[in-house]
């Protein structure tokens, strides 16, 4: 299979690039511009699979940069569907737990009612719809709270803070499932060729506060220099945000586990791998 990876320089894109030989494109191929995509597909004939890891991912920024977010997250997947149809390639598009309102207390299945609570979530949901309308055979993989070594994310920032700040305040009232980018990369490669909506994340529901405690413990075990001696649980309201965030979005992963005969490992194990990879 000749694979084209969009968003190759992002967090997920970097993990994928490390896992497989592929044609990779970054910002220079603007997913919001159909002509850019067509030109790339013409330049590299024979593409049989497309993975879309490109997106506007700044949740707060999406509130104020609506046009940019819409182009990347809504028009982008629709464009991809059109191109994939034209060249006869399989598509896998990455979406988000933010398509859900996050006001419940039961893990979310693929068919559960959506209803985003902010503009980023709205664009991710509309992107799913437009892609499926343009190319119904596409696969959509919703994930949550990704961490890994490429790009900036809550987890890399947390580690930096643990190494530099004596006291940390971490949110305790939002629940989801962490997703380790290298684990996700392997699942993406297995899922490409399937169609429909799937959920993936590492096993186990956690808050950011619980994750911070586990990271400190694990980092200290590995001999990393940690200076934080106090991790204080705080409500999310403590950090004012321009938009609402979903409170509870653990994804139910039963469907993908069955489809791919997967045994998903817990986030604690993935966290250990993440930290070990940093010290070798």
Ligand X SMILES: NC(=O)c1ccc[n+]([C@@H]2O[C@H](COP(=O)([O-])OP(=O)(O)OC[C@H]3O[C@@H](n4cnc5c(N)ncnc54)[C@H](OP(=O)(O)O)[C@@H]3O)[C@@H](O)[C@H]2O)c1
Report 77-136 residues binding ligand X (CB under 6 A).
94, 96-97, 124
Q: CB atoms < 10 A from the CB of 209, how many?
A: 19
Binding mask 159-178 for ligand X (x = CB under 6 A): --------------------
Give whichever of 32 and 107 is closer to ligand X, judged by the CB atom.
32
Chain centroid offset of residue 116 CA: 16
- Rule CB under 6 A: choose which of 3, 5, 11, 140 binds ligand X: 11
User: Does the annotation count 122 as an active-site position?
Assistant: no
Give SS3 for 221.
helix
What angle do helix axes 181-191 and 11-19 make, rounded to 10 degrees? 60
Look up residue 197 and give its two tokens. 């909506």
- Rule CB under 6 A: choose which of 19, 60, 114, 153 binds ligand X: 153
**Of 27-35, 162-170, 214-222, 266-274: span binding ligand X (CB under 6 A):** 27-35
Give whichever of 40 and 172 is closer to ligand X, judged by the CB atom.
40
- Of the candidates 96, 88, 79, the residue with the CA atom closest to the CA atom of residue 12: 96
- Of the candidates 105, 66, 97, 87, the residue with the CA atom closest to the CA atom of residue 4: 87
- Of the candidates 64, 156, 53, 46, the residue with the CA atom closest to the CA atom of residue 96: 53
Give the list of residues 6+ apart from residue 146 with CB closer than 8 angstroms, or none: 11, 12, 153, 178, 179, 180, 181, 184
Residue 59 binds ligand X (CB under 6 A): no
Give whichever of 37 and 219 is closer to ligand X, judged by the CB atom.
37
Binding mask 36-55 for ligand X (x = CB under 6 A): -----------------xxx
Look up residue 39 and give its two tokens. 């030109």
**Of 140-148, 166-174, 235-243, 253-261: span binding ligand X (CB under 6 A):** 140-148
As measured in angstroms, the least distance from the Cβ of 56 to ligand X is: 5
- Of the candidates 7, 268, 272, the residue with the CA atom closest to the CA atom of residue 150: 7
Backbone angles phi, psi at 29, to 5 degrees: -105, 100
**Of 22-30, 160-168, 214-222, 250-258: span binding ligand X (CB under 6 A):** 22-30
- Rule CB under 6 A: choose which of 3, 4, 5, 7 binds ligand X: 7
Pairing of β 49-52 and β 3-6:
parallel
**Of 137-145, 204-212, 251-259, 260-268: span binding ligand X (CB under 6 A):** 137-145
Residue nearest to ligand X (CB): 10
Residue 10 binds ligand X (CB under 6 A): yes
Distance CA 172, CA 211 (A): 10
As measured in angstroms, the least distance from the Cβ of 173 to ligand X is: 18
Binding site for ligand X (CB under 6 A): 7, 9-13, 26-27, 30-32, 53-57, 72, 94, 96-97, 124, 143-146, 151, 153
| Active site amino acids | 120
């Amino acid at each position: 299979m000749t694979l084209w990876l969009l968003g190759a320089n992002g967090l997920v894109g970097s993990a994928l690039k490390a896992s497989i030989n592929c044609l990779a494109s970054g910002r220079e191929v603007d997913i919001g511009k159909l002509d850019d995509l067509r030109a790339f597909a013409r330049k590299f004939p024979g593409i049989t699979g497309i993975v879309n890891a490109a997106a506007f991912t700044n949740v707060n920024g999406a509130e104020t940069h609506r046009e940019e977010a819409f182009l990347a997250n809504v028009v982008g997947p629709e464009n991809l569907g059109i191109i994939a149809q034209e060249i006869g390639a399989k598509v896998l598009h990455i979406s988000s737990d933010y398509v859900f309102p996050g006001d419940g207390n039961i893990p979310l299945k693929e068919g559960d009612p959506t209803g985003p609570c902010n503009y980023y979530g709205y664009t991710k949901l509309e992107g799913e719809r437009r892609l499926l309308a343009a190319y119904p055979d596409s696969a959509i993989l919703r994930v949550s709270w990704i961490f890994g070594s490429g790009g900036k994310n809550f987890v890399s920032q947390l580690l930096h803070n643990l190494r530099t700040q004596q006291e940390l305040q971490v949110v305790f009232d939002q629940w989801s499932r962490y997703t380790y980018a290298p684990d996700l990369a392997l699942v993406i490669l297995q899922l490409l060729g399937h169609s429909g909506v799937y959920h993936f994340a590492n096993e186990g529901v956690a808050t950011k506060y619980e994750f911070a405690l586990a990271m400190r413990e694990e980092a200290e075990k590995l001999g990393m220099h940690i200076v934080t001696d106090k991790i204080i649980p705080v409500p999310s309201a403590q950090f004012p945000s321009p938009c609402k965030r979903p409170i509870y979005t653990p994804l139910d992963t039963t469907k993908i586990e069955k489809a791919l005969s997967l045994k998903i490992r817990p986030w604690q194990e993935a966290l250990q791998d993440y930290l070990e990879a940093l010290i070798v």
